[in-house]
Amino acid sequence: MQLIEKRACFGGWQYVYKHYARTLGCEMNIGIYLPPLVEKQKLPVLYWLSGLTCTEQNFITKAGAQRYAAEHNVILVAPDTSPRGEGVADADSYDLGQGAGFYLNATQEPWRANYKMYDYILHELPLLIEGHFPATAQKSVFGHSMGGLGALVLALRNPEVYRSVSAFAPILSPSRAEWGQKAFSAYLGADQHSWRDYDPTELVLAGGKVENILIDQGLDDEFYRQQLCTENFAQACKRMALNPKIRYHENYDHSYYFVASFIGEHIGFHADKLYAGK
């Protein structure tokens, strides 16, 4: 763990570390916010997954999340969105390759050697955080756009791991959207049966259940109708008697202005679940 950035923030510290990720076969950056209470006790962890083209910097500099993490006494962890570096496969488009890991385990060449973001977020990253910082094993996950997709997939497939999940403008039915079809075809191949493991709507229809789900969607989001497929997910949840809290907001778009407007409510939502029963 190599420290590359440290900033005082709301009584705590915003760090950026670099480490070699064995799962991904490359170095990765991680944004980690430690609120002031970590000086006295271990705290639960809230993992943030960012969207297409983002690094850890987008969330830690634009979301305004540190204030609420300090108020609610949760550690924030924001990894990069994909493996990066020389020797890591890439593409010329913004929605495939470096910056577009889609939080899955690729099975196709040339991606399979490095693009294992699902395993990295689920297994390697928590071990790293809990081994190096004053963190408990209690964890929740949230994200934006592609990261919202990743958060929901992780929670639906591992309900025993995460106390809660939330998302801003997530890609909810990627098998039916251009972004998802392009990424899944490249990373997972032509067999669409394998796509279901990384499609929140298909996971719900297959019986996946998470008790605590919060989704916010802006109605002026330019990707809302064509790429995000919010209603498909809502209909699947209704069919399977799952009751997520889905909120629609007039005037809001797909940007971090939207994320920053409701980030405090999301962190409060997760803190309630992370501290429940203590």
Q: pLDDT tens digit string along 208-234?
A: 989 899 999 999 999 898 889 899 999
Furthest-apart CA atoms within the chain: distance in Å: 52
The whole-number pLDDT of residue 211 equals: 87
191 assigned to active site: no
Whether 28 contacts 18, CB under 8 Å = yes
Give the Cα-Cα-Cα angle 252, 162, 160 (nearest 5 degrees): 140
Domain boundaries of the chain, sorted by first residue: 2-275
> Which of 80, 90, 95, 221 is an active site residue?
221
Q: pLDDT tens digit string along 242-277?
A: 999 999 999 999 999 999 999 999 999 999 999 986
249 assigned to active site: no
CA pair distance 171, 147, nearest whole angstrom: 8
Whether 10 contacts 26, CB under 8 Å = no
The whole-number pLDDT of residue 14 equals: 98
Q: Split the chain (278 residues) into runs of 10 and give each run's mean pLDDT.
A: 96 98 97 97 97 96 98 98 95 95 97 97 97 96 98 97 97 94 96 95 94 95 90 94 95 97 98 85
The whole-number pLDDT of residue 7 equals: 97
> Which of 145, 164, 166, 173 is an active site residue?
145
The whole-number pLDDT of residue 277 equals: 60
The whole-number pLDDT of residue 77 equals: 98
**If you compute the radius of gyration of the chain from its CA atoms, what whole number of angstroms results?**
17
The whole-number pLDDT of residue 229 equals: 87
261 assigned to active site: no
Residues with Cβ within 8 Å of residue 126, at least 6 apart in sequence: 45, 47, 137, 139
Fold (CATH) for 2-275: Rossmann fold (3.40.50)
CA pair distance 62, 257, nearest whole angstrom: 8
> Which of 144, 254, 266, 270 is an active site residue?
254
